[in-house]
Amino acid sequence: MTYAPLPSSMVILDRTDETESRSIRYSFALEELLCRSIGPTAPPILHIWRHPRAFVMGLRDSRLPEAARANSWLLEQGYDTAVRNSGGAAVPLDLGVVNVSLLLPKEAGDMEHRKDFEAMAALIRELMGTLTDRIDQGEVLGSFCPGEFDLSIGGRKFCGIAQRRQQRAISVQAFIIVEGEGEAKAALARGFYERAAGSAFPGDYPLVAPGSMASLAECLNVPLTSAAFTAHLHTLMAARGLLAKRPADIPGYPDEEQIAAMMELLKDRYAIPNSGTL
């Protein structure tokens, strides 16, 4: 499959080395602000980032009867937690997970979201083209953050895709488990839902099953690392004339005060009911 051309004005924002002392909300607040600037000020952006130890819930997860108790359990284990403002369900993050977001302008009245999911899926397929042509697309039963655009190899999911749509821009977000043990992440998600579900019906949350998740390194049985994956992504984008830029060189890039204010706004807007911890 050939990946459709990205906007010629797109730039790459690589924050994969910024792994210390950043709240998990930082990346979501940054993307929210960048999307508000795309078009009038900021160019389209390919945002790449990681976090050392976090658990990101979907909005529906945060409304489960015992979500506050489950959140406390995660915090006690040293996980940074947040509720994201895009679609999808809970996702554990560590340095073996590379998060890739396409921040793109959106036409007024554009309600067709499938093409944006397809664009991200096609990008990942092409990125992995030198290693495998066996990537399947479709919901993987028993996985965490299940969805129509799950990407898997041999029945084990390694990537999920979500979207955040604003009036003039969209953020298409993929989490890609590059290295490490997919089963350990699945077990963490399962532990969260076991504690958060309470009186909820089983259909109200994902039933995470053993054997449903794996890293790319596990799926392909190769010593793939996050650094090598990210370097390959840069190479692929450079072949299209798209290069990395420093934040200071990206028009419309928000300052730290703006990002901090947006983090607080997201914290308040997406707080877990009856919880003062998020």
User: What is the reported pLDDT for 114?
Assistant: 82
Supply the pLDDT for residue 1. 45
Decide if 94 is inside a domain: yes
159 is catalytic: no
Is residue 226 scored above 90 in pLDDT? yes
Q: Is the pLDDT of residue 81 over 70?
A: yes
Q: What is the pTM of this model?
A: 0.94
Is position 251 within any domain? yes
Q: Which of 35, 145, 159, 219 is catalytic?
A: 145
- Confirm whether 275 is domain-assigned: no
Confidence of residue 112 (pLDDT cuts 50, 70, 90): low
The mean predicted confidence, pLDDT, of the chain is 92
Q: How far apart are CA 97 and CA 138, in angstroms?
A: 20
Within-domain flag for 99? yes
Q: Is the model's pLDDT at 276 over the cut of 60?
A: no
Domain range holding 48? Answer: 11-269
pLDDT digits (tens, 9 = 90+) for 14-47: 999 998 878 999 999 999 999 999 978 889 999 9
CATH code at 166? 3.30.930.10
For the record, the structure tokens of 45 come out as 């952006």
The reply to whether 159 falls in a domain is yes
The domain total for the chain is 1
In a domain, 6, yes or no: no
Of 80, 81, 78, which is closest to residue 57 (Cα–Cα)?
A: 81
User: What CA–CA distance (Å, rounded) separates 226 from 162?
Assistant: 20
pLDDT of residue 156 exceeding 70, the answer is yes
Instruction: Let me know: does 146 contact 137? Beta carbons within 8 Å.
Output: no
- pLDDT surpassing 80 at residue 109: no
In a domain, 277, yes or no: no
For residue 121, is it within any domain?
A: yes
Q: Identify the band that residue 2 occupies on the pLDDT scale cut at 50, 70 and 90.
A: very low
